[in-house]
């Protein structure tokens, strides 16, 4: 019998619908993998095997009655622990929210359950989605299932912030997972783990019920092991939500049905500014491979310029912390979550003690940066200036898209790094997002697909950036890459 | 120009006043959530996930609140900004769940406007005066802390958290407590006309931050203080008086005014320091990234404009012009929504009851309402809202007077009975036999009796003591139990006395 945990979303959906196996069998197979890997990989903050089985039973019962099963019928998934799930602990990987059980369900997770998906558990992440390596989680870092081929045993980062999602996918703990991307948090972990993920256009997926990091950038998206699976899951997640004022009031296209790897007549832009000095040789080579593959798929390659690229990272590290410093003010110990009330403490003391104990160092760093850039006397020099540059970056893309349909670039400047390698140097850590952040600032759809392995045997990702609302163009270019990359590598099981 | 001056030891001082009025928007739900806004509900019974700032919750603007702010702006002839934006004002307090208040600092929904306060010689306002209004923006209210529920803890009630407020910021155009009082009253009247705020100051639906500074006449503006959350017209005037005198005392004794926030104490009528500018928060305002800019289209603006009622100034002018009311009566009747509504209903009923045009009975209705009806209500300690009789009933009473069925003095008596019994005027008049006697023969007979019984007084009258005429009228009316038609009585007496 096939190992059900090797199957992706489409295969499970079709297999359950066609009666090749039951949804419960699938859920139990993944539940077993989740349990077996937890100690070694720490991909989940909590597992919810009963939820997965419950949803699977519902799907099987529907099938027995001959009812339609939904886009994600019978597919168990991992839920990044940034999405509020009804009565199931939702922590944002922070001590601040340890034990917090929302009495509401995020719009995106609800849509997934409505589409027939079941929940395997809540996936680990960087605390409040702030990080690129999953090392900022209060619940311990996620360990990537990948190892370098140097015979060493160094623990590697699964990327971040959706590192639980990426690790779980690579280790076959789930066929798909939700991610959120504020400045690369879907794409970079996907690249680090040889998996696939798409951040749709800002506003495609409702932010209602997703713990906020930086409101103007946060965007949920699917992570899976194929472009098709991402398309299916994105259809289930996306859609207008009146409860989110920034939600896009557009119909959700049938992306899966319109998937095509044929790039004839399409122009692919190669941004010269991304070809930075000292770019990792293997990354550079994989980019060239990508160019060749898309050419092979019929695309015309054009060089484009995104002149403000070098300002993207500093701009991001002003805007995102500014919004975060305000978004995280609600964690004050008054109404829910952690409360640290020292003896004789007054309100101010309680705030200070609660927030000192509840937030990790990276979260505190960003709150401090954000508070600083918004404060009187600095606001114009930082925040206002950053907003102007953000507009210029968006303009760069608008101009570039007059010359091309999609943009191809590396997802990250390197393959996965070892845990602990960058923790003492936040700037180096932040540089990980250098290729991911511009599309976030412009609110554009962007995806990462595996391109191959580097000389250390670690996956590298290629990034496709598209025009606003053109997820189809992004998915199609991603598919063209996927068809040619023939990426079949998977981590050798050591856990 | 107001002549109000503070007489200091070293000479006269002028007062400069600006008001920031917080008015709770009349709407069924809060500014960014669906929670109810009713006053006086059980603590924390009107709190949504959004109001409590649960993780991942997002604000969605309430169209009705926006509409009310725009209508208010239109009522003060202000510029309506078709593009405005919400900003976050960041600070920590236990009554502020989000850790920020959603407000509008940089791009308010309503720009420059004005209102006119009326001349009031007695109050020291010699002429009508236009007071500038700088802006109106909408923002969220905070919750409420309760310190009296537990010996060592404070409780938080979030019912108010997220309720929509309009902050209406005046120019520093007022120069006396009376002007400030008149401004606040007029603003309240306009808000109540428009229906955008109920103006209930005792329930906190309207409260004012009072900015006061003093200067020598003609000199540059002095440093101002801001007295927070003053919740009645009288208190605003008291706070200004106290604060201006205090500032003069400080300056005259060689001190300096510190820019600071102050609190008003209603029991002592004085203000005291709350925090100085140095301790002021850095609110780190920035555009709320959860909300798109607010863009208003022409159809929406047109709908807002079309829904505006006749406003106080226009109504007053119409009462004086079309209805021929005195300036005083017009002012009294237009001062509040309840009053003009009652008057207009009464006017309509009265006109149709008497088969006349409203303008023909307006004076009668206005005079009666103000001098008789208000007085009677007052005696009972009641307001128009809980009047024991309806305007239909009042119109019937007025029609009886208008047609000469009863006299004005009998009408007073009938009104009292109506208040007591709730019966209609016609029923009472019939039951108690109060119909006026207009029959000349019957009146003549009574007059003859009176004149015969008072021959001495008749002689005095004829000798020139004409003031006795009133005596004869009184005696006749008394003899007729007040039911003689006064006009007929007068005529017959005049004829008989020569």
Q: What is the pLDDT of residue B278?
A: 67
The strand pair at B6-8 and B11-24 is best described as antiparallel
Residue B435 has pLDDT above 90, yes or no: no
The predicted complex's ipTM stands at 0.96
The verdict on a CB contact (< 8 Å) between B282 and A90 is no
**Chain A residues touching chain B at CB-CB below 8 Å:** 83-84, 90, 92, 97, 100, 102-104, 106, 207-212, 214-216, 242-246, 322-323, 325-326, 328-330, 332, 334-336, 347-348, 351, 371, 374-376, 379, 383
Which residues 6+ apart lie within 8 Å of B151 measured at CB? none
- Give the CA count within 13 Å in the CB-facing half-sphere of A450: 26
Query: Looking at the complex, does the CB of residue B146 fall below 8 Å from at least one CB of chain A?
Result: no
Pick the closest to residue A439 from A228, A159, A217 (CA basis): A217
Banded model confidence at residue B1, pLDDT cuts 50, 70, 90: low
| Domain B440-497 -> CATH class | mainly alpha
Find out whether the peptide bond into A161 is cis, omega within 30 degrees of 0. Answer: yes
pLDDT for residue A58: 98
In Å, what is the CA distance from A419 to each residue of A133, A142, A143, A160, A430? 7, 9, 8, 12, 15
Chain B residues near residue A334 by CB distance under 8 angstroms? 94, 97, 156
Average pLDDT, chain B: 93
- Which residues lie across from B87 on neighbouring strands? B103, B287
Alpha-carbon span B275 to B262, nearest angstrom = 7
Closest residue to B54, CB basis, from A102, A214, A244: A102
Is B56 within 8 Å of A100 when comparing Cβ atoms?
no
B448 pLDDT higher than 80: yes
So what's the pLDDT on residue B475?
A: 87
What is the CB-side half-sphere exposure of residue B25 using CA atoms within 13 A? 32
The per-residue pLDDT for B404 is 80
pLDDT at B477: 83
Q: Which residues contact B285 (CB under 8 A, 6 or more apart)?
A: A374, A379, B87, B88, B89, B90, B103, B105, B106
Considering the domain A4-259+446-485, what is its CATH architecture? Alpha-Beta Complex (3.90)
Cβ–Cβ < 8 Å for A461, A450: yes
Q: Answer with the residue of higher pLDDT: A279 or B318.
A: B318
Q: What's the token pair of residue A344?
A: 């004789």
Q: Place B480 in a pLDDT band, splitting at 50, 70 and 90.
A: confident
Test A326 with B90 for CB contact under 8 angstroms.
Answer: yes
pLDDT in tens, chain A (495 residues): 579 999 999 999 999 999 999 999 999 999 999 999 999 999 999 999 999 999 999 999 999 999 999 999 999 999 999 999 999 999 999 999 999 999 999 999 999 999 999 999 999 999 999 999 999 999 999 999 999 999 889 999 999 999 999 999 999 999 999 999 999 999 999 999 999 999 999 999 999 999 999 999 999 999 999 999 999 999 999 999 999 999 999 999 999 999 999 999 999 999 999 998 888 999 999 999 999 999 999 999 999 999 999 999 999 999 999 999 999 999 999 999 999 999 989 999 999 999 999 999 999 999 999 999 999 999 999 999 999 999 999 999 999 999 999 999 999 999 999 998 887 888 888 888 999 999 999 999 999 999 999 999 999 999 999 999 999 999 999 999 999 999 999 999 999
Closest of A465, A128, A79, A374 to residue A237, by C-alpha: A79
Catalytic (active site) residue A388: no
Q: Is B33 on the interface with A (CB under 8 A)?
A: no
Using CB atoms, pick whichever of B56, B92, B290 lies closest to residue A211: B56
Confidence at B487, pLDDT banded by 50, 70, 90:
confident
Structure confidence at residue A477 (pLDDT): 98
Q: Which of B117-121, B189-193, B434-438 shows the lowest mean pLDDT across its residues?
A: B434-438
Whether the CB-CB separation of B70 and B27 falls below 8 Å is answered with no
Residues in A closer than 8 angstroms to B98, CB to CB, are: 329-330
B259: DSSP letter: P
pLDDT recorded at residue A442: 98
| Helix, strand and coil in chain A, % to nearest 5 | 40, 15, 45
pLDDT at residue B447, as a whole number: 86
Q: List the helix and strand counts (H, then E) for chain B.
A: 16, 16
Secondary structure of residue B300 in the 3-state scheme: helix
Do B435 and B467 contact (CB within 8 A), yes or no? no
- Which pLDDT value is given to residue A394? 98
The Cβ of residue B83 has, within 10 Å, a number of other Cβ atoms equal to 10
Domain boundaries defined on chain A: 4-259+446-485
The confidence band for B2, taking pLDDT boundaries of 50, 70 and 90, is: low
Q: Which two tokens stand for residue A49?
A: 């095997």
Q: Picking from A46-60, A304-318, B163-177, B264-278, which range would have the lowest pLDDT averaged per residue?
A: B264-278
Rg (CA), chain A: 21
Instruction: Establish if B427 touches chain A: CB-CB under 8 angstroms.
Output: no
**By percentage, how much of chain B surpasses pLDDT 70?**
99
Clarify whether A245 is annotated catalytic.
Answer: no
Residues B204-233: pLDDT tens digits?
Answer: 899 999 999 999 998 999 999 999 999 999
User: Choosing from A51, A62, A71, A80, which is the catalytic residue?
Assistant: A80
Burial of A82 (0-12, 13-18, 19+ CB in 10 A): buried
Helices (H), B355-424: 358-367, 374-380, 391-402, 408-421
């Amino acid at each position: 019998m096939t190992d059900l945990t090797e199957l992706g979303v489409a295969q499970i959906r079709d297999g359950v619908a066609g009666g090749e196996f039951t949804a419960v069998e699938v859920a139990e197979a993944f539940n077993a993998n989740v349990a077996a890997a937890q100690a070694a990989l720490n991909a989940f903050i909590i597992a919810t095997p009963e939820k997965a089985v419950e949803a699977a039973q519902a799907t099987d019962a529907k099938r027995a009655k001959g009812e339609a099963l939904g886009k994600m019928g019978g597919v168990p998934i991992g839920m990044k622990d940034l999405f509020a799930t009804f009565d199931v602990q939702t922590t944002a990987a922070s001590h601040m929210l340890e034990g917090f059980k929302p009495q509401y369900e995020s719009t995106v997770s609800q849509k997934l359950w409505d589409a027939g998906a079941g929940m395997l558990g809540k996936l680990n992440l960087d605390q409040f989605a702030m990080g690129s390596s999953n090392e900022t989680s209060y619940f311990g870092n996620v360990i990537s299932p990948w190892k370098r081929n140097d015979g060493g045993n160094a623990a590697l980062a699964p990327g971040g912030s959706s590192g639980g999602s990426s690790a779980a996918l690579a280790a076959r703990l789930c066929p798909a997972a939700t991610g959120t991307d504020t400045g690369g948090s879907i794409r970079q972990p996907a690249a680090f783990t040889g998996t696939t993920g798409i951040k749709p256009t800002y506003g495609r997926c409702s932010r209602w019920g997703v713990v906020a990091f930086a409101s103007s950038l946060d965007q949920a998206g699917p992570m899976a092991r194929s472009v098709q699976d991402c398309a299916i899951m994105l259809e289930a997640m996306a859609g207008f939500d009146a409860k989110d004022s920034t939600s896009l009031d557009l119909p959700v296209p049938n992306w899966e049905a319109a998937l095509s790897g044929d790039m004839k007549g399409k122009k692919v832009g190669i941004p010269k500014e991304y070809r930075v000095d000292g770019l990792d040789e293997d990354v550079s080579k994989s980019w060239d491979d990508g160019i060749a593959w898309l050419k092979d798929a019929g695309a015309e390659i054009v060089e484009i310029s995104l002149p403000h690229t070098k300002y993207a990272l500093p701009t991001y590290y002003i805007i995102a912390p500014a919004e975060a410093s305000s978004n995280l003010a609600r964690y004050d110990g008054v109404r829910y979550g952690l409360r640290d009330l020292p003896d004789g403490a007054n309100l101010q003391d309680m705030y200070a003690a609660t927030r000192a104990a509840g937030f990790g160092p990276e979260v505190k760093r960003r709150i401090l940066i954000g508070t600083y850039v918004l404060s009187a006397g600095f606001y114009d020099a930082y925040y206002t200036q950053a907003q102007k540059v953000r507009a210029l970056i968006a303009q760069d893309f608008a101009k570039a898209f007059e010359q091309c349909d999609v943009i191809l670039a590396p997802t990250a400047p390197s393959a996965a790094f070892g845990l602990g390698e960058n923790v003492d140097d936040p700037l180096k850590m932040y540089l990980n997002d250098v290729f991911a952040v511009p599309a976030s600032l412009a609110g554009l759809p962007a995806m990462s697909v595996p391109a191959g392995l580097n000389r250390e045997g670690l996956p590298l990702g290629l990034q496709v950036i598209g025009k606003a609302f053109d997820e189809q163009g992004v998915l199609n270019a991603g598919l063209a890459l996927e068809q040619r990359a023939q990426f079949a590598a998977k981590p050798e099981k050591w856990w | 120009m107001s002549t109000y001056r503070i007489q200091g030891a070293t000479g006269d001082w002028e007062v400069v006043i600006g008001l920031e009025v917080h008015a709770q928007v009349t709407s069924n739900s809060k500014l960014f959530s669906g929670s109810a806004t009713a006053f006086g509900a059980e603590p924390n019974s009107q709190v949504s996930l959004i109001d409590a700032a649960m993780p991942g919750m997002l604000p969605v603007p309430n169209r009705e609140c926006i509409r009310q702010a725009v209508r208010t702006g239109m009522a003060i002839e202000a510029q309506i900004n078709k593009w405005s934006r919400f900003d976050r004002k960041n600070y920590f307090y236990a009554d502020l769940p989000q850790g920020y208040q959603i407000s509008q600092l940089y791009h308010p929904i309503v720009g420059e406007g004005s209102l006119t306060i009326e001349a009031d010689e007695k109050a020291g306002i010699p002429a009508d005066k236009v007071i500038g209004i700088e802006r109106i923006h909408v923002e969220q209210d905070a919750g409420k802390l309760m310190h009296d529920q537990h010996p060592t803890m404070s409780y938080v009630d979030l019912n108010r958290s997220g309720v929509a407020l309009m902050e209406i910021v005046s120019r520093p155009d007022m120069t006396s407590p009376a002007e400030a009082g008149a401004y606040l009253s007029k603003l309240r009247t306009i808000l109540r006309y428009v229906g955008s705020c109920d103006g209930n100051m005792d329930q906190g639906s309207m409260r004012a931050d009072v900015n006061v500074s003093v200067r020598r006449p003609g000199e540059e503006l002095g440093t101002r203080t801001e007295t927070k959350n003053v919740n009645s017209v009288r208190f605003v005037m008291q706070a200004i008086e106290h604060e201006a005198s205090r500032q003069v005392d400080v300056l005259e004794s060689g001190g300096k005014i510190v820019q600071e926030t102050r609190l008003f104490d209603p029991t002592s009528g004085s203000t005291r320091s709350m925090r100085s500018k140095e301790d002021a928060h850095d609110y780190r305002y920035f555009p709320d990234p959860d909300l798109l800019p607010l863009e208003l289209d022409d159809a929406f603006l047109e709908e807002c404009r079309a829904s505006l009622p006749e406003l106080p100034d226009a109504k007053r002018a119409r009462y004086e012009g079309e209805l021929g009311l005195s300036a005083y009566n017009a002012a009294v009747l237009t001062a509040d929504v309840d009053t003009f509504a009652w008057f207009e209903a009464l006017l309509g009923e009265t006109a149709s009851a008497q088969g006349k045009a409203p303008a023909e009975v307006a004076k009668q209705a206005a005079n009666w309402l103000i001098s008789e009806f208000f007085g009677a209500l007052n005696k009972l300690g009641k307001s128009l809202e809980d009047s024991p009789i309806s305007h239909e009933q009042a119109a019937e009473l007025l029609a009886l007077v208008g047609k000469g069925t009863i006299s004005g003095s009998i009408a007073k008596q009938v009104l009292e009975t109506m208040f007591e019994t709730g019966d209609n005027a016609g029923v009472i008049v019939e039951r108690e036999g109060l119909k006026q006697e207009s029959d000349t023969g019957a009146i003549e007979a009574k007059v003859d009796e009176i004149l015969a019984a008072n021959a001495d007084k008749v002689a005095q009258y004829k000798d020139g003591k004409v003031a006795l005429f009133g005596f004869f009228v009184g005696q006749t009316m008394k003899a007729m139990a007040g039911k003689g038609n006064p006009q007929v009585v007068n005529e017959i007496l005049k004829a008989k006395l020569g």
